[in-house]
Amino acid sequence: MKPRLIIGIATAAVALAGLAAPAVGAGSRPTVLHQGVVTRQDVASRPGSEPDTVVEPDVAVNPRNEQNAVAAAHDSRYEDGGAVTISVAWTKDAGQHWHHEPVRGVTTATGGSYSRASDPVVAFGPDGSAYLSILAVDIPGCRTAVVVLRSMNGGVTWRKPSVVHRSNTCTYSDDKNWLVVDNGAKSPHRGRVYQFWTPFLFADEAQNQYLGSPQAVRWSDDKGVTWSRTSYVTPRDHGTQNSQPMIRADGSIVDTFYDFGVGGRSPDLVPGGAPESVPRLHAASRSRALVATLIDASGPIIATVSSDGGQTWSTGTEVTNLGGGYADDVRCCLFGADIDAASGRMHVAWLGGVSDTDPVYESFSDDGTQWSSPIPVSRGDVSGIQNVNVDVSARGGMVYVSYGKRRHPEQNGGFVQQQVVVSTDGGREFRAPTPIGPVSELKYAAQADGYFPGDYIGTAISKNRLYIVWAVSSKPPASSNSPYHQVIWGTTLRR
């Protein structure tokens, strides 16, 4: 299939974006270089899927060419988990033009064997190879797999999927994958590809006796051709979710994740943490009553360290115990993490609920064990105004946090405006947020136990560029019969 070229911005999006003032700010603040649609639906919807929905993106930038970035997202979402396929997009001119097409060989829609795909994650290796991690699932059914594809031309074409791990039993369900590559010039594991994921473990095939959901990891030293045995970051009886690993210059890994401990609240009950591979464990849809709801922010984010290439892990230390805030009626809001390759400082950003609002916070560490007190990032956090999703990127002492600010939730889910916030002192203090991109109307977003802007968004940083991608929903065009209209929007900022 010949890739399509996106050369403009949708008319409705232009009207919402307010593009008259393209600069994000002056001085050390970034400036908007390009913005527009990154990808939209590539494949036909299937029975039960939500037409005209593309959601939950990730993005990575090529360390050998910062004009080249790759993004990926769900394509035609199912409310009870996964999508018809994954759409992958690439740019060779820093986001002025994006090309996109469906990933081949994973789901039945594009020549694969699984019914659905989910949780795309993108990363680049030191040689410029791009890697794409995907969760493949059968729903109904219990087959699951974590697969990785490799591109040697900046995301234009991809090799056949390499299976990192697969399960054909209901007692072991692969879920929530994340990918990172060791790009350290002096690391003993330079070029190693690490694949993290969350297996949901059960004592019975009916999945009634939940045993735990630990963090697991495998790695590849031959660019994704073969993979190691599984190592576990956490005890197998812990309820955990959402590995956000960071690799230090010496090759050691600091993984951050939710950990509710033995017998603690399982991740399927965490906002944004419903397992894609186990639909029966999804939290019940939240009531859309027009009342203020107290936000339960009890989401312990833990950091643990491996100094032997992922084989063994230290006892975890706490980053925060209030990292599970969320916007009511919305499924969203996993935390994000990144390491500054220049300074070695690590950053975690999250939503932390206070009463019926959910401010954005950041914490930093120079060793992965001692973390700063939570540092406020967002402003104007008052009753009736909430935040959705968050990610962080850092380089050279500059820290960038992006999140969506949600207003008027009582109006069919409300309206979300993406924000970018900058710290110039290594994350100690953040400037005022600045809006970017078009306003998103959640009324037209995908549904997944609530309005669904995705469990996460994507940011990626290079020497001179910052890429931000997120889902934007708006009124469907007159020619559409779909109740949804959702695309992935991207903004490229000059640092």
Write out pLDDT tens, residues 307-365.
999 999 999 999 999 898 777 788 888 999 999 999 999 999 999 877 777 899 999 99
Element (H, E) at 76: strand 65-77
* Strand pairing class (330-332; 451-454): parallel
Determine the Cα–Cα distance for residues 138 and 159; give it in Å rounded to an integer: 22
Determine the Cα–Cα distance for residues 21 and 486; give it in Å rounded to an integer: 24
Average pLDDT on 428-443 reads 96
Given this model, what pLDDT does residue 307 score? Answer: 98
Domains and CATH numbers, the chain: 4-279+294-494 (2.120.10.10)
Given this model, what pLDDT does residue 294 score? Answer: 59
Starting at the earlier edge strand, list the strands of the sheet with 231-232: 178-181, 193-197, 216-220, 231-232
Determine the Cα–Cα distance for residues 346 and 97; give it in Å rounded to an integer: 32
- Dig out the tokens for 61 from the structure: 């930038």
Burial status of residue 362 (CB atoms within 10 A of its CB: 0-12, 13-18, 19 or more) = buried
- Say whether pLDDT at 384 is over 90: no
Average pLDDT on 380-386 reads 84
- Say whether pLDDT at 101 is over 60: yes
Given this model, what pLDDT does residue 293 score? Answer: 54
Average pLDDT on 377-390 reads 89
- Dig out the tokens for 483 from the structure: 């109740």
- Say whether pLDDT at 85 is over 90: yes
Given this model, what pLDDT does residue 302 score? Answer: 97
Given this model, what pLDDT does residue 91 score? Answer: 98
Q: Of 25-39, 44-58, 166-180, give the lowest mean pLDDT range.
A: 25-39
Determine the Cα–Cα distance for residues 332 and 273; give it in Å rounded to an integer: 8
Given this model, what pLDDT does residue 295 score? Answer: 64
Q: Is 200 helix (H, G, I), strand (E, B) or coil?
A: strand
- Say whether pLDDT at 20 is over 50: no
Q: How confident is the model at residue 24 (pLDDT cuts 50, 70, 90)?
A: very low
Farthest-apart Cα atoms in the chain, separation: 59
Q: Of 71-80, 268-277, 310-319, 389-398, give the lowest mean pLDDT range.
A: 268-277
Determine the Cα–Cα distance for residues 57 and 61; give it in Å rounded to an integer: 14
Determine the Cα–Cα distance for residues 282 and 448; give it in Å rounded to an integer: 9
Given this model, what pLDDT does residue 277 score? Answer: 85
Given this model, what pLDDT does residue 15 score? Answer: 35
**Spatial contact of 69 and 100, defined as CB atoms under 8 Å apart:** no
| pLDDT tens digits, one per residue of 161-170 | 999 999 999 9
- Say whether pLDDT at 375 is over 60: yes
Determine the Cα–Cα distance for residues 24 and 436; give it in Å rounded to an integer: 7
At a CB cut-off of 8 Å and minimum separation 6, what does 117 contact? 74, 82, 83, 84, 85, 86, 103, 106, 107, 134, 135, 136, 137
Q: How confident is the model at residue 385 (pLDDT cuts 50, 70, 90)?
A: confident
Given this model, what pLDDT does residue 382 score? Answer: 85
The answer for 17, left when phi > 0, alpha when psi is -120 to 50, beta otherwise, is alpha
Q: Nearest to residue 62, comparing CAs of 30, 94, 38?
A: 94
| pLDDT tens digits, one per residue of 104-161 | 999 999 999 999 999 999 999 999 999 999 999 999 999 999 999 999 999 999 999 9
Given this model, what pLDDT does residue 324 score? Answer: 81
Determine the Cα–Cα distance for residues 281 and 275; give it in Å rounded to an integer: 7
Q: Nearest to residue 209, comparing CAs of 197, 201, 199?
A: 201
Given this model, what pLDDT does residue 8 score? Answer: 33
Beta strand segments in 271-397, E: 301-306, 317-320, 330-332, 336-339, 346-351, 360-365, 375-376, 385-395
| pLDDT tens digits, one per residue of 436-453 | 999 999 999 999 989 999
At a CB cut-off of 8 Å and minimum separation 6, what does 481 contact? none
**Spatial contact of 331 and 455, defined as CB atoms under 8 Å apart:** yes
* Strand pairing class (65-77; 83-91): antiparallel
- Say whether pLDDT at 173 is over 80: yes
Q: Nearest to residue 233, comparing CAs of 324, 303, 323?
A: 303
Q: Of 82-96, 213-227, 318-332, 406-420, give the lowest mean pLDDT range.
A: 318-332
Given this model, what pLDDT does residue 360 score? Answer: 96
Cβ burial 57-84 (10 Å sphere, 16+ → b, else e): bbbbbbbeebbbbbbbbbbbbbbbbbbb
Q: Nearest to residue 144, comparing CAs of 179, 170, 124, 111?
A: 170
Given this model, what pLDDT does residue 26 score? Answer: 39
Scanning the structure block, which residue is given the tokens 């994350």?
Answer: 427
- Dig out the tokens for 45 from the structure: 């919807």
Instruction: Check residue 107 and report its DSSP letter.
Output: B
| pLDDT tens digits, one per residue of 246-302 | 999 999 999 999 998 886 655 555 555 668 888 877 654 444 443 445 566 778 999
Q: Of 55-59, 229-233, 270-274, 351-355, give the lowest mean pLDDT range.
A: 270-274
Mean pLDDT of the chain: 90
Q: Is 15 helix (H, G, I), strand (E, B) or coil?
A: helix
Given this model, what pLDDT does residue 347 score? Answer: 98
